[in-house]
């Protein structure tokens, strides 16, 4: 029996994962590393790497599976040596994220999780919503960054 909340989340997840993929598709190395001229703006490579790690992490909280290794500060120092490597990374992480929502386990939105680092307590429902909204935010930033890069080239 499927869960309507998870099905809706999976649809939204897929839309956002496709947006991240679209932003980096056919982007040359220079475009992946380009930083828009705005305070605190990030290049495509950083947006993609951070978005994928964060999404997998929060979906792990939401679904109650073991937490993956994560070095959040390094996500903001990510560089791309090869555009195909980045695209492969995004595809691999996208499949992992989709797999987390494809679990046959019943989703318990009220179950809680406590952060081992700061003791913050969140529900699995909150973690699921946060994973989706945070990914969408970075997907939109990536699409906008790609548009700015394309305009920068004209």
Q: What is the pLDDT of residue 106?
A: 80
Can you list the positions of beta strands (E) in 31-134?
112-114, 121-123
Domains in the chain: how many in total? 1
Q: What is the pLDDT of residues 15-58, one digit of tens each?
A: 999 999 999 999 999 999 999 988 999 999 999 999 999 999 99
Task: Judge contact between 2 and 107, C-beta under 8 A.
Answer: no
**Across all residues in the chain, what is the average pLDDT?**
94
DSSP state of 105: S
Domain of residue 92, residue span: 4-153
pLDDT of residue 104: 59
What residues of the chain score a pLDDT lower than 50?
Answer: 1
CATH number of the domain encompassing residue 108: 1.20.120.450
What sign does the CA torsion over 89, 87, 47, 73 have? positive
Q: Could you give the CA distance from residue 59 to residue 64 in angstroms, rounded to a whole number? A: 8
- Phi, psi (5° rounding) for residue 152? -60, -30
């Amino acid at each position: 029996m499927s869960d309507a909340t998870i099905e809706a989340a999976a649809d939204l997840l897929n839309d956002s994962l496709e947006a991240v993929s679209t932003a980096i598709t056919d982007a040359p190395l220079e475009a992946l590393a380009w930083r828009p001229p705005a305070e605190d703006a990030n290049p495509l490579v950083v947006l993609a790497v951070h978005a994928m790690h964060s999404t997998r992490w929060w979906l792990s909280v939401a679904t109650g599976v073991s937490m993956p290794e994560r070095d959040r500060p390094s996500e903001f120092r990510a560089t791309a040596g090869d555009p195909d490597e980045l695209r492969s990374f995004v595809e691999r992480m996208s499949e992992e994220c989709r797999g987390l929502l494809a679990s046959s386990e019943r989703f318990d939105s009220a179950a809680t999780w406590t952060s081992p680092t700061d003791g913050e307590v969140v529900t699995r429902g909150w973690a699921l919503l946060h994973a989706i909204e945070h990914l969408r935010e970075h997907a939109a930033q990536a699409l906008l960054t790609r548009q700015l890069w394309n305009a920068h080239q004209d």
